[in-house]
Amino acid sequence: QVHLQESGPGLVKPSETLSLTCSVSGASISSDFWSWVRQPPGKGLEWIAYVHHSGNTEYHPSLKSRVTISLDTSNNQFSLRLRSVTAADTAVYYCARLQQVAERPPEYFDYWGRGTLVTVSS
């Protein structure tokens, strides 16, 4: 069974950098796509970024200038860095595996972590 778990600070000050790590067990990050999704309080889900096992990355256009997603194959983890945060970045952050079928773009998230709440406040 594939298991994902997010870790990182629950509180980040405005203008600083939010850093999260997703630890994966039951699957190798050297295959598939891996992604971050967030849910601000009282709002819907928002895709942030994904990384392919080859190292190729894609970012949501609205966040692209502030976000970096990366793989750590030696520890079977992947990470998210979001710079210059504001209160609008307060959300539950989820890591998830993104599935691709045949040669189509990646389609659906088949395994998720439980999420971690990150609050941006001074």
Partner 1 sequence: QSVLTQPPSVSGTPGQRVSISCSGSTSSIGRNFVHWYQLLPGTAPKLVIFRTNQRPSGVPDRFSGSQSGTSASLASSGLRSEDEADYFCEVWDDSLSGPVFGGGTMLTGL
Strands 91-99 and 77-82: unpaired
Residue 106 is a binding residue for partner 1 (CB under 8 A) = yes
Q: Closer to partner 1 at the Cβ: 43 or 55?
A: 43
Residue choice 46, 53, 68, 70 for contact with partner 1 (CB under 8 A): 46
Judged by CB under 8 A, the stretch of 15-23, 53-61, 74-82, 83-91 that binds partner 1 is: 53-61
Residue 108 is a binding residue for partner 1 (CB under 8 A) = yes
* Lookup: tokens for 101: 């079928």
Amino acid at 94: Y
Which residues neighbour 58 within 8 Å (Cβ) at sequence distance 6 or greater? 49, 50
Residue choice 113, 116, 118, 120 for contact with partner 1 (CB under 8 A): 113
Query: CA-CA distances (angstroms) from residue 59 to 3, 37, 49, 78?
Result: 23, 11, 4, 15
Q: Cβ of residue 85: shortest distance to partner 1, in angstroms?
A: 21
